[in-house]
Amino acid sequence: MEESSLVCALTWVRRGFAKKFPQQFQISEADMAQMKEDPDVRKKKKEMELEEDYDEGDNLPVFVAETTEDIEKIGNDNYPMYFDEDSEEEKEDYTIKETDALVIAGKIEKNEFSSLEIYLYEEPTCNLFVHHDITLSAFPLSLDWLSVAPASFQGDTHRRGNYAVVGSFLPEIEIWDLDTLDVIEPTMVLGGMQEVAASSKKKKGPKSFRAQTTFKPDSHEDAVLSVSLNQYRKEILASGSADHTVKLWDLSKGKCVVTYKHHADKVQSVKWHPTEESVLFSGSFDKKIHIFDPKQTQDSMNIHLPSDIECATWDNLNPSNIYVSTEDGSLLGYDIRNAGKPLFSVKAHAKAATTVTSSAGVNGMVATASLDQSIKLWDVQNINNEGEPVLVIEKNFKAGKINCGSFYQDTPWISSFGTAKGELILWDVRENDQVAEYFASRVVAPGN
C-alpha cells in the first residue's frame, strides 16, 4: 500500500538561535498591490462574483483584501477572525526556550502537498510537537540549516538568523525564514526557471513574441538532491543535483560561482569537511565519491563504491574518515589518507541503507537506518576479525520505512529519523542503560 505522507529530509537547529516568539508574516502594501493585479487572483475574484449566492464582502480571497490591516482580520478560511488573548498556558507551550531543540522536517502529504514542519523537542520532559510549518511549492529532497541572516552577508557584520536551505524536485534552492509564522515566500531563491520572450516570425506580418520557459543562468537543470553549507564561510553553499553537477553558491551575491562536472550520474550527497574549510566531497550514482579542494581541484581523489550511494557523512571527531551507506544495505568506512581499501564493510541492512550519521560528541558512535524499518547503532572504532564494526543495538520503532536521519549537534546522544508514514522518530540512546554504559568513556567535551 502506497504511503499517503512521508518525511524525506530533515536537519536540526542549534540551540539559542530561534526567536523566543516567532513573528507573524506581514505583507507590504506594495506586495498587496502586486497580488491584486495577479491574473489568478483576479480570475478567482471574478468567479466568486458570478456565483449565485455571492454576497459582496463575504468569502473574499485573502489576497484581494484592500490593506494589510484587512489581512490581519481574515483567517485561513477567508472569514474574519476575532481572537481573545492567548492564555498563559498557550503562550508557554509556544514559547521557544533556549533549552528547546528544533528539528526541521521536509514532508510530502498525499503526493501533492509539500511543507517544512518545525518540531519543538522539550528535552527535560521528552515532549515533541509541531510548533509551526511552512508550505513549499515542490517536494523537498534535501535540507541544511543556516545560522546567518542572508541579507547580512552583504555587510561587514553577519547577523544571527534561523533559516532552512531547501533542495527540491525543482531545479532551484530556496532559503526560508524559520522565525516567521505563515510566511508565503522564501527569503532567497538560487537558480530555477524563468520566462523569456522568444520571437516567432510568421510568413506574413511582423514578428510576434511568446513567453518561453528556460533555466536561469548557472541554475541546476534537474532536482537538487543534496545541499551543504560551509561551516567556516556560511555564505558558501554546495549543492548536488540529478543533472550530474556539483555547484558552489555565494549567498552574499545570490548566485552560482562555479560548477563541477566530475560525475557521470546523479549527485546524491555533498558535504563540507567539518574542520578543513576548503575540502568537500560529493557522492554519485556513478559509484564514486569525489573528494576535492575547490581551490586546488588538481589534488582531488576518488573512492570507488561497490554499490549506489544512499548517504555519506564525515566523522565529526575523526575527520579523515568518511562513512557511506548504500543501496544494497551496506555500511562502509574509509580513511581518505588511504582510501584504496575500506576501514570496514558490513551488510548492515536487508534493504537500502538510506541514512548514516555520526555523533558529534560520542567517539565512534554511528547510526544507520533503512527501508527495512530498522535503526542500528554501531561502534566503528572496534572492528572484528571479519572487518566489521560492532553492532551495539538495533531498534524497530514500527513507524515504517526510514528515509533520513541525523544526530543532534548539541546533545550527541539524541538522533531523529523521518519515515515513509510521515512520522518523526526521536531517539535518545541513553534510555538504554547498556548503550549509555558502553559509550560512557567516549564522550567528548564540547570544543575539544
Residue range 255-270: mean pLDDT, rounded: 97
Residue range 164-189: mean pLDDT, rounded = 96
pLDDT at 56: 46
Q: How far is CA 386 from CA 344, 345, 353, in A?
A: 9, 9, 20
Cell of 410: 548539541
Q: Determine the pLDDT at residue 211.
A: 61
Model pLDDT, residue 112? 83
**Are 263 and 286 contacting, i.e. CB atoms less than 8 angstroms apart?**
yes
The pLDDT value given to residue 50: 60
With cut-offs at 50, 70 and 90, classify the pLDDT of residue 67.
very low
Q: Which three-class secondary structure state does DSSP give residue 446? A: coil
What pLDDT, on a 0 to 100 scale, did the predictor assign at position 54?
43
The confidence band for 34, taking pLDDT boundaries of 50, 70 and 90, is: low
DSSP character string of 349-413: -SS---EEEE-SSBTTEEEEE-TTS-EEEEEEEEE-TTS-EEEEEEE--SS--EEEEEE-SSSTT
Q: What is the tens place of the pLDDT at every residue in 323-340?
A: 999 999 999 999 999 988
The single-letter DSSP state of residue 77 is T
Question: Does the structure show a pLDDT above 60 at 206?
Answer: no
Q: How many CA atoms lie within 13 A of 410 on its CB side?
A: 15
The SS3 call for residue 251 is coil
Q: Rounded to whole angstroms, how far apart are CA atoms 330 and 307?
A: 8
Strand order across the 414-419 sheet = 402-407, 414-419, 424-428
Lowest-pLDDT choice from 49-63, 173-187, 268-282, 350-364 = 49-63
Percent of the chain scoring above 70 in pLDDT:
81
At 339, is the secondary structure helix, strand, or coil? coil
Question: What percent of the chain stands above pLDDT 90?
Answer: 73
**Residue 4 banded pLDDT, cuts 50, 70, 90:** confident
Beta strand pairing call for 172-177 and 160-168: antiparallel
pTM for the model: 0.85
Mean pLDDT is lowest, of 44-48, 134-138, 240-244, 306-310, for: 44-48
pLDDT, tens digit (0-9, with 9 covering 90-100), for 15-31? 999 999 998 887 766 66
Span of 165-169, 200-204, 328-332 with lowest mean pLDDT? 200-204
The pLDDT of residue 303 is above 50: yes
Residue partners of 87: CB distance under 8 A and separation at least 6: none
The CA distance from 273 to 269, in Å, is 13
Mean pLDDT, the chain, integer: 87
Identify whether the C-beta of residue 114 lies closer than 8 Å to the C-beta of residue 135.
yes
Please report, for residues 318, 352, 387, 445, the alpha-carbon distance to residue 441 in angstroms, rounded to integers and kept in the order given: 16, 32, 23, 11
Distance CA 332, CA 418 (A): 22
